[in-house]
Structure 1
Amino acid sequence: MPLLNISGVQVSFPFEPYACQVTYMEKVMESLQKNVNGILESPTGTGKTLCLLCSTLAWLESRKAQTELNRQVSIASIMGEQSIQQDVEKLSKSLQSSTGLTWGGSEFAVPKIIYASRTHSQLNQAVQELKRTAYNSVKVSVIGSREQLCIQEQVRKEPNNSNKVHMCRAKVSARTCHMYNRLEDIKKNSDARSLIGNVIDIEDMVTYGEKQRVCPYYLARELKNDADIIFMPYNYLLDPKSRKAHGVELQGNIVIFDEAHNLEKICEDSSSFDLTSTDLATAIEELAKLSEKIYELTKHEDQSLVEMTDSSTMPEPEFTLEDLLRLKATLKDLENKIDEIPVPSNGKGVTKPGMFIFELLRNVSIGFDTKNFLIELLDKIINYVSQDALTGFSTKGAGLTKVCDILKIIFCRDLSDGGSMQLHMAELAKSYKVHIQKTEPKKFQKITSWATNSSTSDKTGKTLSYWCFSPGHSMVDLMAHGIKCIILTSGTLSPLSSFTLEMQIPFPVTLENPHVIEKHQVWIGTVNKGPDGVTLNSNFETRYTPTYQSSLGNSIVNFARIVPNGLLIFFPSYPVMDKCIEFWKENNIFNRISQYKPVFVEPRGKMDFQDAMFEFYNKINDPSLNGAIFVAVCRGKVSEGLDFADENGRAVVITGLPYPPYMDPRVVLKMQYLDEVKRRPNVKHLTGKEWYRQQASRAVNQAIGRVIRHRQDFGAILLCDTRFSSPDSISQLPIWVRPNVQKCQNFGQALKEITVFFKTAEQKMPASKPKKKIGIKTSPGAYFLPTTSRSAGPTNIAKAGRVSDHVASLKHIKDNSNNYSKLSIQYEGGSKASSSTQEIKRGLLGALTDSECKSPANDSQGSPFRLPPDKMVYKKQARKKITIKKRGETDSKSSAADILDDVPATVKSNHLQTAESYISEVKKVLYGDRYKMFSKALVDYKKIGDFQQLTPVLVGVFTEDSELYPFFREFYRFVRPKDKCEYDKLCKSITGTGCGYRPEDSILRKRLQTDNSLKADDITCPSKYPSGYTCECCQKNAERPFEAGCGHICCFPCWRTAFDTDKVCPVCKQPVRRRHLTAKYFAGPELE
């Protein structure tokens, strides 16, 4: 790998970097060396994650070397070895200049890198990125929730995360979780890191935990102790209670927020809450039920009642009945106090300053002096009701959990010694507003089936909201814990000035990086008028008028006609999108659009959305179509996290500015709060209107980022709202598009320029690949794909010639141990165990299973784990059949089974070796989600046999780079015989070289092997003797009868026809396979 000198630090990079990548790494180094905060924007497709990891870890290595030298200097000075001391001090000064003078030359502490992103999937992608660098020997820890990591069956079944947390804690405390106990036993004899390896992600830990029956959740926490870099979601870092629960140390460490464009909202949400009357009523009901249970247990202590209530298995409560009654009275008082707050009937609610929350709680004796006792008591109660023995409470405690959480938010920071309580509360509350609003009865329903009817269920409830309006509240809190520096990075942070003001901490290092693409690869322009001359303006006054909706629809018709391949259309909100589509359908505009491209509309549901995306990509891949259109909303699922590289998205249409709902109480109060802060003396801050405009611009920028995904990509950005033409709107766009914005005064000009752009781009850019080549892709970011494979070792060299989009499967593939049986099935051929009479089903999928069962710790050595005995799938020994031959028949008519038996064992062994070698090599070049797509495709191909569904996946993962063509061609040997001819043609059309297809390759050898008895009967069984069975399909004498699992008996020709077509029983249409058939022997007269 190339070694780069970045600000005095040697950085190993996978390939020769672009200029913008060097600039980015220089800014990262500046932030680390000067020990200051940095905010860095680099467009999607410029490899910011790779640059961030390489530069940060290179600096960390230098820091480690410096601290070790500092120790040597100290030792040399003590020993009085002057010559050695001088050499070591000289080297130490050199290292000190590279790591930064602000860290001090005499410090011995090495900081940890805390890498935070929005979702676990984004973190997994960052870990996969790290595995492909020269720094894949650093010690990694990934902090996840029990939702992702817990493998204890009872805990997994809990309906919500809160229940999982408390049940897990209860089991660990009671020593009833065997996975946790096993981890504790292992830790006594070995180091946790040695068990699993250095660079691991969540999937690695879950796989290891399931195989070794060790708790992945607590294993991850153990790995955190010696980790060089810790990956975790935002909320674990920003939420004080989550930070404490996961043991996250901030003192002296470095914090990186990737995809930081979401940071503002997450900071505010993590410090806010909404407490409804439902929550309080539920908590009171829970205390009432628990009080009754505790009272019964303490009142009756005779043996019969003990046996009836099974109290011998119940945990001993750490609280008293008096504690429960007092807490219940306190919550009841709080409920009454909230009910007494007058709220106007106009539906707008009432707003109070932040200090109101402390006054309200003080009226019910809750304050800084009692909060610790209350929080500890609530934790004890929640843990108690989570015990297995209390079946009536095992999934409850939701109301008490909510009360506990809000107390932790309100009293998040303790008073310092000697400080004023009043000033302390004022400081905490200055970023907050309290809002009380009525809740309609239909929204106010009991969430627990066992709770009794409360008087509040028939009346209007209230929602008490404690909203934080300053993301800087969380950032200042982080800095107060002694963090060395914070780096924020994303592809869409513009405008940086307003973003930094919101964070309320200084950012001396800033960067707005240009893109790696050339000017001819992107066209961006404002389309102010439709083809009928109507001004396109999606403001509140015009967005629902027929004139606007018609003009916008006719514009889309023209765009669908001239834009090749995929077209994305973003609306400001769901209501606007729904109304427009409804109007288009009623006025035949939708049909006119569909004449050019099929249209998909973003659904609300998760599963429906995945199905829609799957169909969209299928239409894009269809060579008979001119692409497809996906209609979505800004801030929705499509605008962030999905990848529309190359043909998947050649243009994006933004139909309006997606401002937040203007009358929403939280939006109104946010703007009021910002205006109040702006009026304070000597304060630099956004005004409410500036923040409001910024929210729309940032959502637009995020949508724009869906199209240009890598250096070889190109596309058009159409801003179809006259408001985009204003200088203020243009200044809010990313820096890489601002200079190129075209202002089209009429629709004809826009149409002409877009047409010319695509003609020019198609001439200058590499020729489009065949449509079959496009796989199913999603990605929250971009990455750089090496053109050669590399192992996990740090010494191998990898090179890359271009930027490639980082894709992840739309389908969430779970790592389920029950899938062993699905993966241990071969397509054709097999191998016999040398030491057993039973034959293991092996082949490509068997090799795939073995490959996936490798220990992460030993993966570099290639030592596979063997499948556990209970997971192995064995072939039943074939039943011997009597073959009746005609008199005088010679052995020349040998059966198919005899032919197969003549195949040498070495041939079968070589086939197995080839399959294992193939899978082993594939794992080296496919990573994470791509390997899972490959694995899932094999399973589906075996299960369904749909060749048309298999090929797009293979094309997508193996033909992005010509270096992977051999893997594409090599797969030919594992394709089903009936599909080999078509696969050979496909391979030749894409790679230019076929697979050496021969007609005899289409002979189904597996059928000959597995159905040898059927073939023998087919050749030699005389037909003059009736079998005694009638085929239930053709109603003729079944000369060779076979019975399926459904109980129906058909002749072999009918079964063969069924297997060659739809693979269902000809009678009842239930799915059936050859292995499900049982031969029926003669039921008629005995043979002579």
Structure 2
Amino acid sequence: MADDSKHPDIDFHHPFTPYDVQLDFMRAVYDVLEKGDGQVGILESPTGTGKSLSLICAALTWLRNHKRSQFESSFSAVAETMAGEPDWVIQAALKRKRLELAQRWEEREAKLKKVREREKALEEKAAGLQRDRKRARVGEDGVRRKKQEVDEEEEFLVAEWQGGDDGDEGDPLGYLSKETRAMMAKVGLGGYKKEDEDDKGVEEPVKIYYTSRTHSQLTQFISELRRPEFPPSLPAELLSSSEDEATKEAVKQIPLSSRQKLCINPAVSKLGSLSAINDRCTELQQSKTKDKKCSFMPTAENLKQTHQFRDTALATVPDIEDMFRIGKEVQVCPYYASRTAIPGAEVITLPYPLLLQKSARDALGIKLEGNIVIIDEAHNIMDAVANVYAAEIKLSELRRGRQMLGVYVKRFGKKLKGENRVMVAQVGKVVESLSAYLNEQMKVKGDQGIADPNMILKSRGADMINLFQLIKYIQESKLAYKIESYVSYVEDGEQQDSESTAPVKKIFSSTPVLHTLVSFLTALTNLSTEGKIFYEKVQTPGGSPDIKLSYLLLSPTHAFSSIATSARAVILAGGTMSPFEDFKAHLFPTLPAEKLTTLSCGHVIPTSNLCVWTLASSKPVPAGSTTTPDMFEFSFQKRSDEAMIRQLGLALLNVCSVVPDGVVMFFPSYGYLDEVVSGWQSSDNSSTTSIWDRLGTKKVLFRESKGGSSDEVLQSYTDAILSHPSDAKTNGALLLSVVGGKMSEGINFSDRLGRCVLIVGLPYPNINSPEWKARIEYIESTAVSRLEGSGKTKEQAVQEAKNAAREFYENACMRAVNQSIGRAIRHRGDYAAIVLVDRRFGTERIKSKLPGWIRGGVVAGSEGKGVGGLMGALGVFFRGKR
């Protein structure tokens, strides 16, 4: 089954009649999963081609087929172990095993069917009635208590800590008390311990872990997951169910998320920040006193509710909101109870951070070995890995943290004993050392640079501190949470007691300062060869000068390797994966070619619905010429040319005269967008009316601003288009935006909102920034080491390394371009023109980095025809759409 050309008739159970490009995509996914053994697929399917549904149909079809195949293989293995026994004995044993497995499967399906029927009845009842649901008032009421009602030492003083006790190292639940872990193990939540045999469900041997970037994308995927129906994972002839039930089996899916999304304890969820919620939750579980524990935690006492939660979740294909609702209804914590459903789930959905961090996977009980990993919206996966491991801290935050530490020590310093006294003092030294370093950098000329990791902890003897031990202490003692909550409590009390109308000056803020410090210290413990620390001068929200330290992961290779080497197969899927080379080089550098599958699908739209034009100059280029004075080249050195900016405005004016409804123009940066608009707003000698004003007679004008609200601009832009007929005096709207900005990803300019998309120049990152200098240096140095080890000479290795760095830099630019281009065409009936304004888009090197469906739509020779040729092409294109 590895070669999809040999299996063209696979039924993928698609709920609609799939297009050819969808079939190609599903066959590629199926082939990668069938091969297994560490296979990787990098697959590109344009937005609007039903990528998510195709992923679902291919993966679930393979999974059900695979389970049926494994079912039969297991009986062959049993027969082999009984070799030598009479045939009738072997057949009887096999028959009994088949019946047992079939009975367990049918019992599970029958239980889940009852749950689904109960849920449906409740939904129908809720639709017709406004029911009053009584809720038990459990635990804290979420109202801040007055100062005098709090036992401060019990509430805020850190408990005794034994730093040398590593007995729980490697245990993802090791931060909990022994009593809590024993209780969790009893109900099947302790590590990977199974539930009691009398309530054990059917455990799925192979799971599909699906991850995407945002909560809304996961919700959309789950909505699509409810559409198709798939056959049972057991051969139909073994089942005694009705004919209808024997031909389908509902998908078992569980969404995983953070406590911030799933906590139903109002006294914890009200804390807002994820770090504070995590600390408060684990602190409640560490308590040995029953009445101080969270009452929603799964225990032996609420085992029935925990099982009800599990069965309801497995029966209903829930999203995160459903998990929260189910937990509220049965009064059990969704964050912990969801783990009881993992063994019986076929599909597990989770956001990037929970998959990309090994510590998060361990805490949730996720094991990737032998399972499938599907990463959707994977065009930004390398950035996502870097963001998961990134950290930063500002001097203003360190100052605030030092004040908070001082308030805490003033109150509890004499109560701190042994390890607590030592470790709290070390926290103070680290804060002071980082502050001293940043104060020195404030005096240095220049706004940014690379920080020497040996210097940032040089002061106060902080470089002698064991950071691993200190981080462990802060996390396990919940010191950050206790300090921040105590300071907040004190300030609230002072505000209540103050008779003055003037507000009390607070040092506490919604930013979890000491948690931010822990994240930064954790980043410092990463391998120095894989990341760099930068300083950058910034401003506080109030406008005061500030400076920050940032940690940047330079390569995702090591961080991603635990996923790539564990899973049976990994699928990277996205609408704009081109260019592919970076994914191979930086996520799977040692993967053999035979284990890698790449595919760039065409679009589902007919070719007549796309017009791609390279506008290289304002006037036609004479045959044989490679450059003319009228060439558009928006490189950093040339883009401020006033004549070229004016010609760009005139070209846009012509476009707006021909294109109906919405036109979106993307610029390389906010700074250049402002510069161009300023140029267009200035009148010149040839006309008393500025280009900007003339554009306003053609379209309603909108522009994206760096600090403004994209939602408001987008809504106004949409209203301006949809509220006016096509023959109105101002025919639609023009939106000026930025590649990599708020409008370039996740925003759909479908139908009338995006009839033409223009890309101005190539948005190369600032190669002179410290971050990009460090990236380029890292890529070159690692490439030289690898190439010299393969037998290349020093000169050859250096040259190829420079080429690799250039390729990475160029690919980063083109991925951003491709994302912006993909905003326009969103479904089969959509149509749009795409205009690439820069002579460099006409070169084969750049053109080869466009997605296949865009390359196929480029009008041949367009780079030599100027604005006049573009107007003729656009006129013909849009006349054919009326």
What is the aligned counterpart of 2:87 among 82, 86, 91?
Answer: 82
CA deviations on 1:594-628 (whole Å, 9 max, x unpaired) are 2222122224457x322222222222222433332
> Could you say which residue in structure 1 is the equivalent of 2:758?
653
Q: Distance in 1 between matches of 2:92 and 2:606?
A: 49
Q: CA deviation at 1:247?
A: 3.9
Q: Structure 2 CA distance, aligned partners of 1:492 and 1:592?
A: 35
Equivalent position SS for 1:12: coil
Question: Which residue does the alignment assign to 2:655?
Answer: 559
Corresponding residue number in structure 2 for 1:516: 604
CA separation of 1:16/1:463 partners in 2, compared to 1, >3 Å: closer, same or farther? same
Range that drifts further, 54-63 or 69-78: 69-78
Q: Distance in 2 between matches of 1:502 and 1:583?
A: 41
State the partner residue of 1:269.
387
Does structure 2 retain, via aligned residues, the 8 Å contact 1:661–1:667? yes
Instruction: Note the 1:60-75 alignment, pairs <5 A.
Output: 60-75=63-78
State whether residues 645 and 708 of structure 1, in contact with CA within 8 Å, keep that contact through their aligned partners in structure 2: yes
Query: C-alpha offsets along residues 894-920 of structure 1, whole Å, 9 cap, x if unaligned?
Result: xxxxxxxxxxxxxxxxxxxxxxxxxxx
Distance (whole Å) between structure 2 residues aligned to residue 600 and residue 739 of structure 1: 31
Q: Determine if the alignment matches structure 1 residue 429 to structure 2 residue 528.
A: yes
CA contact (8 A) 1:39 1:510 kept: yes
Alignment of 1:884-963 (within 5 A): none
Shift of 1:365: 2.6
Q: 1:614 — aligned with what?
A: 715
User: What does residue 241 of structure 2 align with?
Assistant: none
Residue 86 of structure 1: how far off its partner (Å): 8.1
Q: Secondary structure at the match of 1:15?
A: coil
CA contact (8 A) 1:635 1:699 kept: yes
SS of corresponding position for 1:204: helix
Letter in 2 for 1:622: S
CA–CA separation in structure 2 for the residues paired with 1:597 and 1:88:
78
The equivalent residue for 1:634 is 739
CA contact (8 A) 1:25 1:52 kept: yes
Q: Does 1:324 align with 2:437?
A: no
In the TM superposition, 1:786-865 aligns within 5 A as none
Matched, 1:569 2:686: no
1:55 aligns with 2:58: yes
What is the letter of the counterpart of residue 754 of structure 1? Answer: L
Measured after TM superposition, the shift of residue 380 of structure 1 is 2.8
Identity %: 29
Q: In the TM superposition, what is the alpha-carbon distance from 1:727 to its structure 2 partner?
A: 1.5
On the 8 A contact 1:616/1:628 being kept in 2, the answer is: yes
Q: Structure 2 CA distance, aligned partners of 1:347 and 1:395?
A: 26
Structure 1 unaligned residues grouped into runs of 5+: 93-107, 299-316, 413-427, 447-456, 763-1088
Q: Which amino acid aligns with 1:557?
A: L
Whether contact under 8 Å (2:760, 2:836) holds in the other structure is yes
1:680 aligned counterpart, secondary structure: helix
Q: Are the equivalent residues in 1 in contact too, given 2:744–2:820 (CA < 8 A)?
A: yes
CA offset at residue 332 of structure 1?
Answer: 3.5
8 Å CA contact 2:405, 2:483 repeated in 1 = no
**For the residues of structure 2 that align with 1:543 and 1:701, how far apart are their CA atoms?**
21
1:695-740 Cα shifts (integer Å, max 9, x gaps): 2211111111111222222211111122211211111111112133
**What letter corresponds to residue 700 of structure 2 in structure 1?**
P
CA contact (8 A) 2:540 2:546 kept: no
User: Does 1:112 find its partner at 2:207?
Assistant: yes
- For residues 635 and 59 of structure 2, the distance between their equivalents in structure 1, rounded to whole angstroms, comes to 45
Structure 1 residues 360 and 385, CA gap change in structure 2 (3 angstroms)? closer
The answer to whether structure 1 residue 471 and structure 2 residue 533 are counterparts is no
* Letter matched to residue 11 of structure 1: F
State the Cα distance separating 1:121 from its structure 2 match: 0.4
Higher relative contact order (CA 8 A, sep 6+): 2
1:160 maps to which of 267, 273, 279? 273
Identify the residue that residue 839 of structure 2 maps to in structure 1: 722
Q: Deviations over 1:419-461 (max 9, x none)?
A: xxxxxxxxx33222343x3636x54999xxxxxxxxxx9xx87
Separation of aligned partners in 2, 1:89 and 1:221:
33
Cα distance in 2, alignment partners of residues 516 and 548 from structure 1: 37
* Alignment partner, residue 602 of structure 1: 704
1:144 match: 257
Q: Distance in 1 between matches of 2:468 and 2:276?
A: 28
In the other structure, the counterpart of 2:516 is: 402
Write the distance in 2 (CA, Å) between the matches of 1:225 and 1:700. Answer: 42
Q: CA deviation at 1:748?
A: 0.6
Q: 1:69 to 1:145 in 2, by over 3 A?
A: same
Alpha-carbon distance in 1 for matches of 2:511, 2:876 = 63
The 1:334–1:739 alpha-carbon spacing in structure 2 relative to 1, beyond 3 Å, is closer
What is the rounded CA distance, in whole Å, between the counterparts of 2:441 and 2:671 in structure 1?
34
2:562 is aligned with what amino acid? D
What is the aligned partner in structure 2 of residue 1032 from structure 1? none
Contact 1:183/1:215 (<8 A) preserved: no
* 1:155–1:143 distance in 2 versus 1, CA, 3 Å: same
Measure, in 2, the Cα distance between the counterparts of 1:280 and 1:390: 17
RMSD: 3.8
Determine if contact 1:282/1:398 at 8 Å carries over to the other structure. no
Partner of 1:496: 580
User: Which whole-Å CA distance do the structure 2 matches of 1:570 and 1:84 have between them?
Assistant: 74
How far apart in 1 are the matches of 2:46 and 2:460? Answer: 47
Q: How far apart are the structure 1 equivalents of 2:840 and 2:253?
A: 47
Deviation, 1:492, is 0.8
3-state SS of the aligned residue for 2:563?
helix
- 1:338, distance to aligned residue in structure 2 (A): 6.9
CA contact (8 A) 2:204 2:345 kept: no
Q: Which amino acid aligns with 1:207?
A: R
Deviates most, 257-266 or 400-409: 400-409
Residue pair 1:278, 1:444 contacting (<8 A) in 2 also? no
User: Counterpart of 1:131 in structure 2: which amino acid?
Assistant: R
Identify the match of residue 478 of structure 2 among 337, 360, 380: 380
Q: What does the per-residue CA deviation read over 1:315-374, in whole Å, with 9 as the maximum and x for residues that have no partner?
A: xx996334323442354356557767898534453455x888899999623448746754
Pairing 1:85-100 to 2, within 5 Å after superposition: none
Q: 1:37 to 1:657 in 2, by over 3 A?
A: same
Where 1:251 maps in the other structure, the secondary structure is coil
CA contact (8 A) 2:673 2:738 kept: yes
Q: Distance in 2 between matches of 1:267 and 1:550?
A: 41
Query: Is the 1:257–1:488 Cα contact (8 Å) retained in structure 2?
Result: yes
1:318–1:61: structure 2 CA closer, same or farther, 3 Å change rule? farther
Q: Deviations over 1:360-395 (max 9, x none)?
A: 999623448746754545x53134346689724997
Aligned partner (choices 652, 670, 673) of residue 775 of structure 2: 670
Distance (whole Å) between structure 1 residues aligned to residue 28 and residue 552 of structure 2: 35
Match of 1:41 among 41, 44, 49: 44
| One-letter identity of the residue aligned with 1:528 | A
- Alignment check: 8 A CA contact 1:163 1:396 kept: no
Partner of 2:303: 187
Do 1:155 and 1:167's aligned partners in 2 also have CA atoms closer than 8 Å? Answer: yes
CA distance in 2, matches of 1:67, 1:81: 25
Is the counterpart of residue 229 in structure 1 residue 347 in structure 2?
yes
Q: Secondary structure at the residue paired with 1:737?
A: helix
Aligned pairs for 1:729-808 within 5 A: 729-742=846-859, 743-745=862-864, 746-762=866-882
C-alpha distance in 2 between matches for 1:72 and 1:358: 62
Secondary structure in structure 2 of the residue aligned to 1:226:
coil
Larger Rg: 1
Contact 2:468–2:525, Cα closer than 8 Å, also in 1: no
| CA shift for structure 1 position 759 | 2.1
Instruction: Describe the SS at the equivalent of 1:256.
Output: strand
Contact 1:63 1:110 in 2 (8 A): no
Contact 2:43 2:571 in 1 (8 A): yes
Q: Which amino acid aligns with 1:748?
A: G
CA distance in 2, matches of 1:737, 1:134: 34
Distance (Å, rounded) in 2 between the aligned partners of 1:719 and 1:487: 31
* Structure 2 Cα separation of the partners of residues 369 and 381 of structure 1: 15
Q: Is the 8 A contact 2:665 2:758 kept in 1?
A: yes
